[in-house]
């Protein structure tokens, strides 16, 4: 029988290697955020949210191509019902992360209301077909209500999730344990990795628990000043998906003996998963920091631009506008003549060409212009962001 003690321990035992890893992550995340031009964050954020969605879906076995995600955000949906549903699912994920990134989450991240809000916002945007859950053992069909805690027993792989009447008490213990005021900043960051597993272990909803756990971890990392719209742990988890699922499962196991902590669940398993999770975070911060180094980004964009001009797919004068977007973050339309050296009409033609293909973006017809990252040129500008074959 599951009790409140069944979820213990909530944190790994004191571990120097884990603390050193967390300190390194904190330092790397702060350095990366400080180095990137603040005005570039909006464009990078749009790109990373799409990437985060792609990899989070991939973990669930839903391979929605980046180009189809891009089209979904523009309201261009496939005529095939299954493909359209996956596009709607991708857009739902991105829209919820946008709310989190804008600070529009109406409840504390570490709260039952916050967790239910994430599920409700995500699932509330899904088509009806994706709210139907089938029990693989009995064939029973359940229609899931967005944001509503699970009301029936479920088994996930080998894990028998807690009975429904224990979900809310366990979530209460979860919120209390990871929100203790006595925890240091270091312990709270370590707690993000541990809480990712424990939320999955509770399995509070009929479906969508994996995506909610990853959105929750993203929001909690942001709350702690470590996460941002500039990088995605989901990419790291998806690139190591077999380890991710194996370590999640191992951390579900009961205590292994007297040397394995004092709780009901294995402390060694929790420590190993937490170390893996935080290592994925560090790897992704480092990866994105390297990828977005201004001088290297400028060089890749210039090489691409020169090739496009040579092939007459872009007008001459394109590079100065792209360079200004990278260096300054954004620029006024009134600057285009000075930047290109062209008369107004010709300069506007250059700008229109770049806006048309999406390498420059603007929120309004007369607004400032910033860099865009259309999916069809991503591999040239930001290599290895997505898998080579997609």
The H or E element spanning position 207 is: none
Annotated binding residue at 213? yes
Give dist(CA 147, CA 36) in Å, integer: 36
Annotated binding residue at 212? yes
Which candidate in 93, 119, 197, 203 is catalytic? 203
Annotated binding residue at 157? yes
DSSP labels for 307-341?
HHHHTTSS-TTHHHHHHHHHHHSEE-GGGHHHHH-
Tokens of 270: 């929790």
Contact residues for 179 (Cβ-Cβ < 8 A; gap 6+): 110
Annotated binding residue at 177? no
Annotated binding residue at 210? yes
Annotated binding residue at 338? no
In whole angstroms, how large is the CA radius of gyration of the chain? 23
Annotated binding residue at 14? no
Annotated binding residue at 207? yes
Block residue for tokens 């260096």: 327
Residues 109, 216 contacting (CB under 8 angstroms): yes
Give dist(CA 210, CA 217) in Å, integer: 11
Give dist(CA 320, CA 340) in Å, integer: 6
Give dist(CA 146, CA 167) in Å, integer: 16
C-alpha dihedral sign at 81, 82, 87, 88: positive
Residues 95, 39 contacting (CB under 8 angstroms): no
Decide if 196 is catalytic.
Answer: no
| Beta-carbon-side half-sphere exposure of residue 247 (alpha carbons within 13 Å) | 22
Annotated binding residue at 214? yes
Distances (CA, A) of 145 to 62, 316, 351: 21, 55, 47
Per DSSP, what are the bridge partners of residue 361?
A: 370
Annotated binding residue at 78? no
E strands of 70-219, at which residues? Answer: 132-134, 141-143, 155-156, 159-160
- Binding-site sequence positions for ATP: 156-159, 207-214
Active site residues: 203
């Amino acid at each position: 029988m599951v009790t409140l003690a069944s979820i213990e321990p909530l944190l790994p035992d004191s571990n120097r290697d884990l603390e050193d890893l967390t300190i390194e992550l904190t330092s790397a995340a702060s350095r990366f955020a400080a180095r990137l031009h603040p005005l570039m964050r909006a464009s990078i954020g749009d790109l990373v949210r799409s990437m985060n969605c792609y990899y989070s879906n991939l973990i669930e076995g839903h391979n929605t191509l980046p180009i189809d995600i891009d089209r979904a955000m523009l309201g261009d949906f496939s005529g095939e019902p299954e493909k359209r549903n996956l596009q709607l699912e991708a857009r739902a994920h991105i829209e919820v992360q946008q709310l989190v990134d804008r600070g529009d989450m109406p409840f504390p991240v570490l709260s039952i209301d916050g967790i239910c809000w994430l599920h409700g916002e995500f699932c509330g945007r899904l088509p009806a077909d994706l709210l139907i859950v089938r029990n693989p053992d009995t064939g029973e069909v359940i229609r899931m209500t967005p944001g509503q805690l699970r009301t029936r027993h479920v088994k996930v792989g080998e894990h028998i999730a807690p009975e429904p009447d224990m979900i809310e008490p366990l979530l209460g213990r979860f919120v209390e344990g990871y929100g203790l005021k006595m925890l240091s900043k270091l312990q709270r960051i370590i707690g993000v990795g541990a809480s990712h597993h424990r939320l999955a272990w509770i399995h509070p909803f009929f479906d969508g628990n994996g995506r909610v756990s990853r959105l929750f971890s993203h929001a909690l990392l942001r709350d702690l000043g470590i996460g941002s719209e500039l990088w995605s742990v989901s990419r790291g988890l998806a690139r190591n998906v077999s380890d991710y699922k194996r370590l999640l499962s191992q951390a579900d196991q009961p205590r292994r003996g007297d040397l394995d902590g004092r709780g009901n669940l294995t402390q060694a398993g929790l420590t190993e998963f937490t170390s893996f999770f935080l290592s994925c975070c560090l790897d992704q911060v480092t990866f994105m920091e390297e990828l977005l180094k201004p001088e290297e980004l400028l060089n890749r964009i210039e090489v691409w631009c020169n090739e496009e001009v040579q092939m007459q797919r872009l007008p001459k004068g394109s590079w100065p506008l792209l360079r200004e977007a990278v260096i300054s973050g954004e620029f006024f339309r009134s600057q285009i003549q000075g930047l290109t050296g062209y008369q107004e009409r010709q300069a506007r033609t250059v700008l229109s060409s770049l806006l048309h293909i999406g390498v420059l973006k603007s929120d309004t017809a007369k607004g400032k212009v910033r860099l865009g990252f259309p999916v069809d040129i991503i591999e040239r500008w930001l290599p290895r962001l997505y898998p080579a074959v997609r």
